[in-house]
Every structure is written in C-alpha cells, then in structure tokens.
Structure 1
C-alpha cells in the first residue's frame, strides 16, 4: 500500500539562523534565502511569518506565492522570504501548507498532520482499501474511509450509543478518529466496497496490515 511519507518534525524556528549550502551558482535572491539568518513560523492555512536578518517581519502566503516585503509587492520579484519558506518546508523544518505540528493520534510522535481532519502522520494514515485486523475479534476488515469524526462524536443509531460508548470499544480513546470499515468475506463475494454494509471503529481498535485490497 502507498501512504504519504512521514516527516519528522522539529520545532519552528525560534531564532534567526543561516542555512549553508554551496550557493556559488545560485542567483542573488536564492543565495540570500539560504545564507541569511531568518526565523520562519507557520501561521496555518499556508501562511508564514518570516523575521528577516534586518529584524523586519514579513508575511508569506506560500500557497499564493505572496509576500508583504517591498521586493515582492513593489518589484514583483519572487523574494528571498518566499524562497526561504519553500526551503524550510522542503527540509521539514516547518509544516507545509495544509499541515500543522501536533502529536499523531496513532503513534503519538510529534509530526506534521492535517490542519483539518484526523491528526495522523503519514505513517499512520489510512487509505481506502487498506486491510486491517479487528483486535477484538481477529476478523479481517477493509478500510472504507477515514473520517473527520472522533469516537465520542459518532453516534451509532442501531446501537443507540456513540462509537466510544459501544461496549466492545471500552478502553479505546474516546478521541480516536473514526474509521469506517467493511467485511470483505461476508455476503456476496463479488460485491465492491460501496455495496457492503459499513461499520464504524475507533482507530486504535484496528491493527493495520501492510497490504491493500485491489478493487
């Protein structure tokens, strides 16, 4: 199966510092982006605060390739601040657009996780078709989708309880992301995932395998 690559996260830049590759073949703005002492801090939604070597702070919107510095606003150049943010994102120093720094709900490591949606790192993310084992029964299940709901938020009408309060889910975190699964070996063997009944599980109840069902 293919998952996003897990990125080991470090803290945002609290102090200005230089980065030092061989810049002899770079244009002036690129070289300054690498070598000048700057501090980059993620603000979310693809926006970053960049404290420049001069002490001035500019706002960069990486998703829109925009910066509030004069070099960009007046001259229309792709300034050193935009380039520096791109460098730090590429090197895994600050979260890329759409991500934030948080402890992964799956493995507990500090990671870059989605700003909106399940707080899972790339190693713990689930895709449609992933195979997993139900830790309570040993049954094989197939992931239908990873939802944005938490176990204490998802109500199961047939059981008149939330996923968290369902008896077999006792002991699993109530703030686990909810995963919808299907049973691949029940009913019609030829039925696809969309045609099978779906069941809501807390994420921690599933032991994910390094395999995927090909629909």
Structure 2
C-alpha cells in the first residue's frame, strides 16, 4: 500500500477506533490494542491483499507494535478527543472517549473483521496476547535480527508474518481426514514427493 503519511495516520486511527468501539467498555490494554491492530492488518492482508492501516510494525520483546506508536497512534487519538491512555498500576489502557460514526477507509466487512479481532484479543491478558504474537514467524525473525541481541527494533515482514495464519487456519485441514479417497491421494503424492519428474 503506497499512501501518504496523513492517510496512514487516518487509517490507523480508524482501525484503532473500530477495535475500541467493539470491546466492552471501550477499554483495551495498550499491549492488546497493538496486537489487535497487527492481527487485523494480517487478516486483511490475507483476505484482501492489503493491510488496513498501511503502517509498519516492529518487533519488540513484548511482540509486534505499531512503529512509533506513541506518536503515530496515541497522540492522534488523544489530540482528536477520540481516546485517551490512562495509567492503572502497571497497565496503561486506552479508553474510548467518543465513537466515530462513519469510516472513510474501512467498509462494513473490515469493521466486522476489526470487531472479530477485538473479541478474540480484547479480553485476554497482555501476557497471553504477547505469547500468541511470539508464535508469529515474522515477529520471530525480526526480533532475532534486532532487539534480541540489543540492536534497534526491526520492522516485521508482513508476508512472512502471514505464515502464522496459514499454520493456524482450521479450514486447511477441514475434511481431509474424513475423506478416505482424498487422504489416499495426498498420501500417494507425499510418498513420491522426492521422485524426479
């Protein structure tokens, strides 16, 4: 996606608002919000060929986060009066202040996708969503190349990150084990996989 910085900012704000407007109380831990944005972009990339936000994610120890999220995400949310980050002990939840009624860049399908991601990631602990993101091969590679060894954080390659969705997609294996004929064909192909053409 080749868009201006202003459009990236607006897309990121819309995505964050679609997520925040979908969680009970309009409140989400900042760790969870970053992971929800990451997975929203990944699923959108898988389904549409483009991310929702057009933003880069970097590999921090806690998992993927929007690059420069304090400036690119939190500051615009707060300055627009849409949401605000609070401090609650060690947690720093982002809290919805006012919803937006219309979305410029997210159609109804993408808004539903944001709601589904929010439902999955919103109520989890920050530790569990970080653990989920640590299973992502894109994060693993970027973390290995950067912060793990004390170097600056490295951007995550979203095409590599897509592999997690393929690995976890229940549809890929659906029906194969129940269909004896299909299973036999797959086993035959696998048995001859190393034979020359």
Do both proteins adopt the same fold according to a TM-score greater than 0.5, normalized to the shorter chain?
A: no
Q: Which has the larger radius of gyration?
A: 1
Q: Whose strand proportion is higher, 1 or 2?
A: 1
